[in-house]
Amino acid sequence: MSAILGWLICGLALAILLIAALGVYRLPDALSRQHAATKATTLSLTLFALGAGLLAWDATWTWRLILLVAILFAALPLASHALGRAAAGSNEVE
């Protein structure tokens, strides 16, 4: 049961990653591409970590995955904010 749920969540995470990649390819300007790349990627990585934790039902995996998701939640918004502010400040994007 846990294994099937893990496979399903990992597949959903990969579908979201593919949608993010499509957005990075198709969207018209840099800031909307960054919107696609950051938010959908965060959701996809979190879901994949959850699915991997369900698949390998083990405490050592769980702690490392929790650490990974905590680092991602701390780092990705900060990095994307810095990048978006720099891009809006430069006059390449309009």
Partner 1 sequence: MTPTLLFVVLAGLAAVPGLYRLLAGPTLTDRVIGLDLLFAVAIILSLTAALLSQRTVFLDVAIGLAVVGFVATLAWARLIQVRAGGESE
Least gap, CB of 3 to partner 1 (angstroms): 10
Does 2 contact partner 1 by CB under 8 A? Answer: no
Question: Interface residues for partner 1 in 18-77 (CB under 8 A)?
Answer: 18, 20-22, 24-25, 30, 33-34, 37-38, 41, 44-45, 48-49, 52, 55-56, 60-61, 64-65, 67-68, 71-72, 75-76
Name the burial class of residue 83, with classes exposed (0-12), middle (13-18) and buried (19+) by CB atoms within 10 angstroms of its CB: middle
Enter the tokens of residue 35. Answer: 């919107």
Least gap, CB of 1 to partner 1 (angstroms): 16
User: Taking CA 52 as the corner, what is the angle to CA 11 and CA 39, rounded to the nearest 5 degrees?
Assistant: 60
Assign 29 to helix, strand or coil.
coil
